[in-house]
Copies of this chain bind each other. A is one copy, B any other.
Amino acid sequence: MQLEKNPLGPHFQVLSQTHNSLARRGRIHTPHGVIQTPAFMSVGTAGTVKGMTPADLKDLGAEIILSNAYHLYLRPGHLFIEKRGGLHNFMAWDRPILTDSGGYQVFSLNALSKITEEGVDFQSHIDGSRHFISPEKAIGIEAALGADIIMAFDECLEYPATYPRAEDSLNRTLRWAARSMSAHHRKDQFLYGIIQGGCYPDLRERGIEGLLPLGFDGFALGGLSVGEPQEEMLKVLDQVVPLIPIDKPRYLMGVGTPSDLVEAVSRGVDLFDCVLPTRHARTGILFTSRGELHIKNARYKEDDLPLDPNCQCYTCSHFSRAYLRHLFISKELLAMRLNTLHNLYYYLSLMSGLRKSIEQDSLDQFRQHFYDDRATGI
């Protein structure tokens, strides 16, 4: 399929689609540059992608990173960062940034959070101090941080949840979405709404329909990858993605495994973020075309092969599994660095492979190769 020069709007362009799926190649335009989609966002929770310099991230080809409003609000503070010229300037990253609103974190990191119609009262996971975040406050924090794309404040539903619980939560999320939009004033930030509704199709449908009139620049699927089987997540995608206007970016929050990415891209998702590549790197779990490899395993002790013989990353071009295992066992800093470089390279290459296969309308073959390689084993 030819790339189409068909800008559908100022923020997002669809360039091409496959003939037999909802997968599409696109471009997201932001004040700090363009993001080729489908794209994976590396997670930089506290204003740094753990262990990576901005130069490393650029070398890896990262076009956008995600940072967490919740964490930056608590430390060093959003107004503190605003005074330093905003998050881009503070962390010396001049490409696009997306901030989440903290909705997920106030629940997942706080057993003692208390929710009211007004917002959420929670305890800092750092020093135990009490804080309150409302939709208005979340948007204010995100405005101060100055990311290119910001997220509405939502209630992130636990899994599993009963229908009444899911419905109640969805209604609150919709009211908060309207308040988020009303509080949104920075014209240089794009605001995305978050579709909730759990695993209940009718609630998900109301989740998107309730957001549509509010004028969001993009739509995220929230409350997934919270413990449900992949099959259930894909069922939600199959149902909800077609309900999202074709000219808006579709962002699947907090997802996922390599297979999740392949399946979700095939179902028309444009944007992802996940801590897996960076977090797994630090615990010695490395992604390869043939599956995951636990570097501390004794079988790699005298293994002189690179992590992934098919990988072109700095780590695989220079170091053996035996060396990486030595670093990991010795708790050397460089272990985390080289592992993170590799895992992010794996994720970003997977996305670039997916993008290319959509351009060439060969996504089915790409998917087949992806699963065949993994089936071979390491």
- A318 B92 Cβ-Cβ under 8 A: yes
- B51 A334 Cβ-Cβ under 8 A: yes
For residue A314, CB closer than 8 A to chain B, the reply is yes
Interface 1/0 per residue, A315-350 and B, CB below 8 Å: 000111011001101101110111000000000000
> A319 — which chain B residues lie within 8 A by C-beta?
92
- A83 B302 Cβ-Cβ under 8 A: yes
- B54 A326 Cβ-Cβ under 8 A: no
- A323 B46 Cβ-Cβ under 8 A: no
A residues neighboring B (CB under 8 Å) = 46-48, 50-55, 75-76, 80, 83-84, 90-92, 302, 304, 314, 318-320, 322-323, 326-327, 329-330, 332-334, 336-338
Given contacts A48-B327, A50-B333, A92-B323, 11 further A-B contacts (CB under 8 A): A46-B332, A48-B333, A52-B334, A75-B330, A76-B329, A80-B302, A80-B322, A90-B320, A90-B323, A90-B326, A91-B323
- Min CB gap A171→B, angstroms: 36
Number of copies: 2
Closest to A325 in B: B76
Other-chain contact of A84, B53, B304, B318, B333 (Cβ < 8 Å): B304
Complex Cα gap A52–B80 (Å): 30
Q: List 13 A-B contacts (CB under 8 A).
A: A46-B326, A48-B332, A48-B333, A50-B332, A51-B334, A53-B338, A76-B322, A80-B302, A84-B304, A84-B322, A84-B323, A91-B323, A333-B333
- B47 A326 Cβ-Cβ under 8 A: yes
Complex Cα gap A80–B83 (Å): 53
Complex Cα gap A84–B319 (Å): 11
- B76 A318 Cβ-Cβ under 8 A: no
- B84 A320 Cβ-Cβ under 8 A: yes
- Min CB gap A286→B, angstroms: 17
> A314 — which chain B residues lie within 8 A by C-beta?
53, 55
- Min CB gap A196→B, angstroms: 30
Closest to A71 in B: B330
- B334 A48 Cβ-Cβ under 8 A: yes
- Min CB gap A281→B, angstroms: 10
Complex Cα gap A329–B47 (Å): 13
- Min CB gap A52→B, angstroms: 7
- Min CB gap A311→B, angstroms: 15
- B50 A334 Cβ-Cβ under 8 A: yes
